[in-house]
Structure 1
Amino acid sequence: MSGTLEFTTRDGETFVLAPGDVLLAEDTSGSGHRWRLIDEAPWRRLYVELDAAPGD
């Protein structure tokens, strides 16, 4: 993976995601988050969808 970005949640929390970091996104239908690249590398990422636990 490559690229470093600044990520801001809809609640205003801001943090940096760098290559090798893992972000667990539990709100995948909401809106309002923002991100911006903060280095020159292209943002290459991998998405993995997790099934809901039985009973959820």
Structure 2
Amino acid sequence: MKLIRIDHDAQGGSHFSDCTWALEEGSFTPPSPAGYFTTSQMGACCVLMMHHPAGYQDNWHAAPAPVLGTVLRGKVSIQTSDMDTRTLLPGDQFLACDLTGKGHRMSEVDDGPYDLALVVLMSPPELEQDT
């Protein structure tokens, strides 16, 4: 399972990295049969759903805490301060860990609204960086 991570650097800039969830054999709902995999459990303080109307564009902002986002509907473009841009589709995930500096900005794609599910995490989760 892949996701993009947004981080900040010492100069206040932000950038993407392509990551994969670290998975282990599932045991979340015993006595489920073997054969599924899960991440380690993560501490979270809240969950919110966010709707962005057609034409919406963020200002530059840093994440208030590590935030795990999943696109539920529409297409969203995320841009980091190094001007790298990624387009996410429904089901795509991102982890915003750019807690200081210029941050990132988001906008809708194709003149349509988009919806996000956001989980505010207590700390960044364990990920494997893709090479």
With the length of structure 2 as denominator, give the TM-score of the two structures: 0.35
How far, CA to CA, are the matches of 1:24 and 1:34 in structure 2?
Answer: 13
RMSD over aligned CA atoms reads 2.0
1:14 and 2:85 correspond? yes
How far, CA to CA, are the matches of 1:35 and 1:17 in structure 2?
Answer: 10
Larger Rg: 2
Can you give the 5+ residue segments of structure 2 that lack an aligned partner in the other structure? 1-71, 125-131
Q: Give identity over the alignment, percent.
A: 36
Question: In structure 1, the residue corresponding to 2:87 is in which secondary structure?
Answer: strand
Contact residue 7 and residue 36 of structure 1 kept, 8 A: yes
Q: Which has the higher contact order (CA 8 A, sep 6+)?
A: 1
How far, CA to CA, are the matches of 1:47 and 1:28 in structure 2?
Answer: 16
Moved more, 28-37 or 9-18: 28-37
1:36 and 2:36 correspond? no
The structural deviation recorded for 1:32 is: 4.3
Measured against aligned partners, the alpha-carbon deviations of 1:4-51 in whole angstroms (never above 9, x if no partner) come to: 022111121111011100001111344342222113442110110111
Contact residue 5 and residue 39 of structure 1 kept, 8 A: no
Question: In structure 2, the residue corresponding to 1:39 is in which secondary structure?
Answer: coil
- 2:104 counterpart letter in structure 1: H
Q: More strand per residue: 1 or 2?
A: 2
Give the aligned partner of residue 94 of structure 2.
23
Can you give the 5+ residue segments of structure 1 that lack an aligned partner in the other structure? none
The structural deviation recorded for 1:52 is: 2.2
Stretches of 4+ aligned residues off by more than 4 angstroms:
none
